[in-house]
């Protein structure tokens, strides 16, 4: 996470000591096999600094088992949104060292079993997300460098336990691990371990490391809540290459071999960005330049790693960057709060922080060789999931920009939509698509009628429950595949079908896909003997876009509640089939 | 004494009136957590290091000052 301003563990703990306003704060239970006070205070401090308020519950020291196993313990009445398990390799090492070497493998497995079973119990709490700190690899090496080859060495056993935790997390679906050994190794084990503090106060690390390790948990929380960075907006001069393309020209900018060490640093940074793109982060350009000049290196510089096709939205003009970032958000259909803006100019950074405070604007080191280490230390791109869709996403957004260009050639939008030759699949949930379905349900904020974040497990159950009508849609057109972009979950109640959730990706807005979807639902409902559809709109700060969704689809307003939500009805017999220009695709089983 | 006052202010978030006789009981919020923070903050501020046996031995400000001073002197000699 990026925090504006200087924070160390002492002022974070002070910040965390002030109680968070409990309204809207996420509830975190901190279960520790070590002292939890320092960690919990830093966690709350980070939460306030990052405008992600947290309230915490910590059981008495060293009572994790009792707390989890007692169904009447305060853990369950606390109703946590998140549970964090704090592990301490210092405790584990004593368990292992007191055992005979031949027994240690077995004891390690037993420790892992216990942790996994606690984690499984806690993961059953409704709509909870569980985070486990993996064990930091111990610094003791009785066999020296040979230790890693000895089965009974602490390092071997701790590695095996960590592997087990990761596997169990992957199986559970709502459990994530924090790679503490990575965090510890960033500053080194000498900075992480302070044996005095372990012996005196059972601190699992020196508190100076707490902002990093607690920050990782918050990064996971935010990713699970769909509040992660989806787009990097890049300045060009002195960010992607050294020098000024407008003044220095193509031959003089420093990039790759021609720029000596500095040029290599920019090249490396481009490779780093390209890798982000490959995992689904959208790249955009936001530069003060003449557009033709700004595009020249992308087209003609031989060491340029990023090509024009890697940039989903390219804005180079002399307008102010705040306005240009809004334009990028609009064109790409992403929220301003999911954009990271990278610029070497302190003036531009501060301007954007002032005028578009939603955008994340980290500092940028003066030396390009420090770009990657600095940005990696912020862990801006945490994710709760990774699917095939992510790999393709940046491409989807680029295809979208091409579609927008094309749109200008047609006199009417209707004509244009027909020319797209769209086909859409409308199918009941299946195992293959569940990860992407869960992702869409977790992440979508704008086109989301009820914003219910169904867990992966709930979604799996809907698929098998005959009372539920859970459907996904995919959309393909002549520009390419848009992937799985819509999820609709209906629940039968007698002769009525309640639309529990209707979620759609913003990249397929204005394609009349809603009308197509409704036609399909009505057909399914009719076959099932359902007489009426019933839908609900629950307003949030982000979903104003769909406040008239049901009205536009011909539903009748049934009720308007004081919290601003509305309910809507449509009699199946009164539905008029739409003429949306979308073909229903035949069911294809992907492999 | 001036810099120790800075350490106290860092930890408690407010200036704390200090005399040699000030004890933990005189300062609101000086609990076991604050105790460790005072020690770690002075380690950082003065570039010194407390021994395990000393972590619990700073019951009042006078003792704290004496301990810090003795460590600074040792540091100078080294």
How does pLDDT run across A562-572, given as a tens digit for each residue?
Answer: 989 999 999 99
Q: Which two tokens mark A1?
A: 């996470």
pLDDT at A588 over 60: no
Instruction: Please give, rounded to a whole number of angstroms, the shortest distance from the CA of A14 to a CA of chain B.
Output: 7
The SS3 of residue A392 is helix
Q: Is B10 in Cβ contact with A199 (below 8 Å)?
A: no
For B35, nearest residue in chain A (alpha carbons): A201
The overall average pLDDT reported for chain A is: 91
Task: Answer whether A197 touches B (CB < 8 Å).
Answer: yes
Q: Which two tokens mark A27?
A: 């509830």
d(CA A39, CA A457): 30
Q: Is A10 in Cβ contact with B11 (below 8 Å)?
A: yes
**Residue range A180-209: mean pLDDT, rounded:** 95
**Residue range A348-377: mean pLDDT, rounded:** 94
User: Using one digit for the tens of pLDDT, what is the confidence trace for A327-358?
Assistant: 999 999 899 999 999 999 988 898 899 889 99
pLDDT of B24 reads 84
**Residue range B21-34: mean pLDDT, rounded:** 86
Collect all residues with Cβ–Cβ distance below 8 Å to A350 and sequence separation of at least 6. Answer: none
For B56, nearest residue in chain A (alpha carbons): A200
A542 falls in which pLDDT band (50, 70, 90)?
Answer: confident
pLDDT of B55 reads 85
d(CA A361, CA A353): 7
Q: Is A10 in Cβ contact with B55 (below 8 Å)?
A: no
The SS3 of residue B17 is coil
For A35, nearest residue in chain B (alpha carbons): B33
* R_g of chain A computed on alpha carbons: 26
Q: Which two tokens mark A274?
A: 């390209």
Nearest CB to A196 within list B11, B12, B55: B55
Task: Answer whether A211 touches B (CB < 8 Å).
Answer: no
pLDDT of B25 reads 86
pLDDT at B5 over 60: yes
**Residue range A555-559: mean pLDDT, rounded:** 95
Q: Is A37 in Cβ contact with B52 (below 8 Å)?
A: no
Name every residue in B having a CB less than 8 A away from some CB of A. 10-13, 32-33, 36-37, 40-41, 50-52, 55-56
User: Using one digit for the tens of pLDDT, what is the confidence trace for A387-423?
Assistant: 767 767 767 777 776 777 666 666 566 777 888 889 9
- pLDDT greater at residue B61 or residue A177: A177
Q: Is A200 in Cβ contact with B56 (below 8 Å)?
A: yes
Residue pair A370/A261 in contact (Cβ under 8 Å)? The answer is no
For the ranges A154-158, A206-210, A425-429, B24-28, which has the lowest average pLDDT?
B24-28
Q: How many CB pairs under 8 A join A and B?
A: 33
d(CA A471, CA A521): 9
Nearest CB to B40 within list A37, A41, A207: A207
Q: Is A14 in Cβ contact with B13 (below 8 Å)?
A: yes
**Residue range B4-15: mean pLDDT, rounded:** 90
pLDDT of A591 reads 39
Dihedral of the CA atoms A13, A16, A18, A23 (nearest 10)?
180
- Burial degree of A299 (CB within 10 A; 0-12, 13-18, 19+): exposed
pTM: 0.73
Task: Answer whether A18 touches B (CB < 8 Å).
Answer: no
Q: Is B56 in Cβ contact with A13 (below 8 Å)?
A: no
Measured CA angle at A95 (ends A89, A98), to 5 deg: 130
**Residue range A462-481: mean pLDDT, rounded:** 90
pLDDT at B62 over 60: yes
pLDDT at A146 over 70: yes
**Residue range A320-328: mean pLDDT, rounded:** 93
pLDDT of A259 reads 73
- pLDDT greater at residue A514 or residue B29: A514
Task: Answer whether A279 touches B (CB < 8 Å).
Answer: no
Residue pair A544/A565 in contact (Cβ under 8 Å)? The answer is no
**Residue range A151-158: mean pLDDT, rounded:** 94
pLDDT of B33 reads 86
- pLDDT greater at residue A280 or residue A416: A280
Nearest CB to B41 within list A10, A37, A38: A10
For A197, nearest residue in chain B (alpha carbons): B52
d(CA A396, CA A379): 25
pLDDT of A238 reads 95
Nearest CB to B36 within list A11, A199, A201: A201
Instruction: Please give, rounded to a whole number of angstroms, the shortest distance from the CA of B37 to a CA of chain A.
Output: 7
For the ranges A58-72, A138-152, A256-270, B63-77, which has the lowest average pLDDT?
B63-77
Instruction: Please give, rounded to a whole number of angstroms, the shortest distance from the CA of A211 to a CA of chain B.
Output: 15
pLDDT at B77 over 50: no
For the ranges A6-15, A18-27, A402-411, A449-458, which has the lowest average pLDDT?
A402-411
Cα four-point dihedral sign A97, A99, A102, A108: negative
For A18, nearest residue in chain B (alpha carbons): B13
pLDDT of A590 reads 47
d(CA A195, CA A102): 27
Collect all residues with Cβ–Cβ distance below 8 Å to A503 and sequence separation of at least 6. Answer: A440, A441, A444, A447, A448, A449, A486, A487, A488
Nearest CB to A10 within list B37, B55, B56: B37
Residue recorded with tokens 């540091």: B75
């Amino acid at each position: 996470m990026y925090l504006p301003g200087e924070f160390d563990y002492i002022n974070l703990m002070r910040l965390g000591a002030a109680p968070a306003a409990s309204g809207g704060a996420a509830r975190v239970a901190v279960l520790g096999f070590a002292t939890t006070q320092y960690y919990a205070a830093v966690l709350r401090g980070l939460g306030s600094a990052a405008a992600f308020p947290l309230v915490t519950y910590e059981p008495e020291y060293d009572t994790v088992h009792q707390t989890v196993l007692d169904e009447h313990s305060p853990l369950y009445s606390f109703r946590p949104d998140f549970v964090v398990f704090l592990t301490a390799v210092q405790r584990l090492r004593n368990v292992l060292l007191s055992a005979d070497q031949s027994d240690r493998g077995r004891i390690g497995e037993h420790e892992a079993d216990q942790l996994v079973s606690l984690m499984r119990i806690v993961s059953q709490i409704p709509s909870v997300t569980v985070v486990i700190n993996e064990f930091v690899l111990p610094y003791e090496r009785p066999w020296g460098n040979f230790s890693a080859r000895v089965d009974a060495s602490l390092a071997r056993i701790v590695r095996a336990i960590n592997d087990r935790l990761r596997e169990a997390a992957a199986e559970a679906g709502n459990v994530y691990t924090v790679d503490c050994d990575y965090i510890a190794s960033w500053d080194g084990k000498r900075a992480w371990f302070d044996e005095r503090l372990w012996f005196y106060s059972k601190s699992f690390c020196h508190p100076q490391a707490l902002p990093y390790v607690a920050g990782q948990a918050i990064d996971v929380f935010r990713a699970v809540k769909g509040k992660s960075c989806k787009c990097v907006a890049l300045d060009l001069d002195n960010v992607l290459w050294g020098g000024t393309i407008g003044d220095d020209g193509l031959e003089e900018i420093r990039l790759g071999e021609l720029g000596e060490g500095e040029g290599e640093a920019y090249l490396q940074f481009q490779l780093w960005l390209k890798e982000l793109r490959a995992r689904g982060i959208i790249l955009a350009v936001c530069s003060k330049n003449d557009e033709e000049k700004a595009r020249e290196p992308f087209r003609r510089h031989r060491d340029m790693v990023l090509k024009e096709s890697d940039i989903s939205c390219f804005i180079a003009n002399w307008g102010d960057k705040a306005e240009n970032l809004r334009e990028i958000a609009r064109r790409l259909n992403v929220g301003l709060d999911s954009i990271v803006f990278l610029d070497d100019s302190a003036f531009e950074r501060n301007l954007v922080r002032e005028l578009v405070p939603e955008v994340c604007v980290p500092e940028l080191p003066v030396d390009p060789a420090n770009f990657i280490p600095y940005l990696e230390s912020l862990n801006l791109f945490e994710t709760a999931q990774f699917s095939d869709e992510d790999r393709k996403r940046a491409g989807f957004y680029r295809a979208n920009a091409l579609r927008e260009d094309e749109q200008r050639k047609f006199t009417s939008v209707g004509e244009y939509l027909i020319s797209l030759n769209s086909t859409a699949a409308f199918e009941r949930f299946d195992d293959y698509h569940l990860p992407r379905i869960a992702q869409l349900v977790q992440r979508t904020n704008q086109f989301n009628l009820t914003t219910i974040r169904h867990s992966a497990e709930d979604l799996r159950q809907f698929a098998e429950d005959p009372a539920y009508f859970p459907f996904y849609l995919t959309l393909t057109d002549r520009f390419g595949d848009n992937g799985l972009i819509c999820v609709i979950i209906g629940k039968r109640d007698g002769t009525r079908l309640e639309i529990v959730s209707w979620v759609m990706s913003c990249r397929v807005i204005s394609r009349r896909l809603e009308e197509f979807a409704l036609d399909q639902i009505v057909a399914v409902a009719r076959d099932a003997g359902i007489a009426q559809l019933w839908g609900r709109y629950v307003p949030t700060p982000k979903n104003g876009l769909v406040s008239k969704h049901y009205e536009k689809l011909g539903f009748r307003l049934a009720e308007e509640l004081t919290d601003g939500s509305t309910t809507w009805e449509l009699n199946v017999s009164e539905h008029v089939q739409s003429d949306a220009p979308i073909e229903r695709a035949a069911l294809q089983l992907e492999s | 004494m001036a810099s120790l006052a800075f350490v106290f202010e860092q930890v408690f978030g407010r200036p704390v009136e200090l005399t040699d006789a000030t004890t933990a009981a005189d300062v609101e919020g000086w609990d076991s957590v604050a105790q460790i923070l005072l020690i770690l903050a002075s380690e950082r501020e003065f570039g010194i290091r407390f021994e395990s046996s000393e972590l619990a031995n700073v019951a009042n400000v006078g003792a704290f000052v004496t301990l810090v001073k003795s460590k600074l002197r040792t540091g100078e000699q080294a």
